[in-house]
Amino acid sequence: MDTHKTVAAAKAAKPKRGMSLGLVSLLFLAPALLFYIAFELWPIIQTIWYSFYEWNGIDASTFIGVENYITVFTDPELYGSILHSFYLIIFFSVIPIVLGLIIAVLIKDMKSKAGRSFAQVCLFLPRVIPGAAAGVAWTWMLADKGTANQLLRSVGLGDFAHVWLGDQSTSLNAVGVIGFWLQLGFCVVLLLSGIGGIDQSLYEAASLDGAGWWRQLFHITLPGLRGQIGVCLTMTIISALASFDVVYMSTQGGPGTSTMVPGVQVYRLAFTQQSVGLASALAFTLMILVLLVVGPLQRLVNGKEK
């Protein structure tokens, strides 16, 4: 056969050209790698570098060692913003995934195909809307005379009406609700596609054996969805910890500092207060925290599969 010859020839020719397979592969990788280095790695390296300086972004800077990091962990405003973003995980991650799971199973059980697609589209719609636009729209809905309070008043619960975003005791939760609304559709669609991949005969067999809805959920659906849940968790936790658009548009971190998150704080420090070094330190701290949370999570989800 000819192919044997060509392979042999190629093998023979390789050392002549003096290029190892690794080097050739690297050459093919180079364009993408260069972009990755220029637009991903290099900015990260720069951020780390800046974080050791006191710098206004323009003029000469002074090296101050880890002082910026000390500030990040001792200034209640700065570490407070990190705590807020962890609190938001409940709304951005936990609730959307739990509810998303239930909704996905309910949609799966729907008889009408049209109804199924309709429900999917409706639930996915928020995901299509940019976070900034959602932030503005929800600001109106959560205002004193907004939709939320109108609903409460119309059913005689006017006493519970609140200026949701204008009260330090409710503002972070209100921001969380916006995040929940944005993330739910994503989780539902992803989980639905996962459910589609589970062998239907498993459900039939389970029904025959007398397993109810809840048992099927915990013993077939959940284990079958481990991968999808992992992706949901990863994406939503990152969007909670690195949230910016929703908070910036709806509250800008207020009232007081009750909804301040690291994303907004970094922006404010770097561009309004011109403390680029401190902003970099907070940004890098946030990046490490995200990796610390998401990394083990990946292990947990993927590791079990193996």
Partner 1 sequence: MRIMKAVKTAVAGLLAVSCLTSVAACGPGSSSSKANVSNEPVSTDLGDTKYELRLWDGAGLKAFDDQLIAAFQKKYPNVTIKATYDPDNTSQQNGPRIISAADTPDIARITDINSAVRGNHLVNLDEYAKAYGWDLPDSQTQVYRVDSSGKIGSGSLYAVPDGVSMTGLYWNKKVAKELGITEAPATVAELEADMKKAKDAGKLAMMMPAKEGGTSYIYQALLTNYEGRDAVQDWIIQKDGATFSTDGAVKAAQKIQDWQKAGYFSKDALALDGSTALSRFSDGQALFFPSGSWYSASINEALGDDAGWIAFPGEQADSGSAAANAVTAFGIPANAKNKNAAAAFLDFLQSDEARQIAVDNGYPPIGEGDTPSTDNQLLGQVLTAYEGLVETGNTTDYINNATAGMQASAIIPGFQSLIDGSMTPKAFVESIQAQYEKEVK
Q: How far apart are CA 290 and CA 55, in angstroms?
A: 25
Query: Which residues is 63 bridged to in the sheet?
Result: 53
- HSE toward the beta carbon, residue 49, CA cutoff 13 A: 8
Q: How far is the CB of 248 from partner 1 (least distance, A)?
A: 11
Please give the full DSSP string across 78-117, using - where no structure is assigned.
HHHHHHHHHHHHIIIIIHHHHHHHHHHHHHHH-S-HHHHH
Among the listed residues 269, 281, 282, 290, the single contact to partner 1 using CB under 8 A? 269
Q: How far is the CB of 163 from partner 1 (least distance, A)?
A: 4
Among the listed residues 126, 224, 230, 254, the single contact to partner 1 using CB under 8 A? 254
Between residues 27 and 292, which has the closer beta carbon with respect to partner 1?
Answer: 27
Q: Which residues, including other chains, have CB under 8 Å from residue 287's CB and lie 6 or more apart?
A: 44
Between residues 81 and 120, which has the closer beta carbon with respect to partner 1?
Answer: 81
Which of these segments, 42-50, 126-134, 179-187, 217-225, binds partner 1 (CB under 8 A)? 42-50
Query: What is the gyration radius of the CA atoms in the chain, in angstroms?
Result: 26
Report CA 224 to chain centroid distance, whole Å. Answer: 22
Q: Which residues, including other chains, have CB under 8 Å from residue 14's CB and lie 6 or more apart?
A: 20, 21
Q: What is the pattern of x (binds partner 1, CB under 8 A) and - over residues 139-178?
A: x---xx------------------x-xxxx----------
Q: In the range 76-115, which residues lie near partner 1 by CB under 8 A?
A: 77
Between residues 66 and 205, which has the closer beta carbon with respect to partner 1?
Answer: 66
Q: How far is the CB of 134 from partner 1 (least distance, A)?
A: 17
Spatial contact of 133 and 141, defined as CB atoms under 8 Å apart = no
Q: How far apart are CA 222 and CA 261, in angstroms?
A: 32
Among the listed residues 14, 66, 271, 295, the single contact to partner 1 using CB under 8 A? 271
Give me the residues that bind partner 1 (CB under 8 A), please.
Answer: 20-23, 25-26, 29, 33, 37, 41-42, 45-46, 49-50, 53, 55-63, 77, 139, 143-144, 163, 165-168, 252-257, 260, 268-269, 271-276
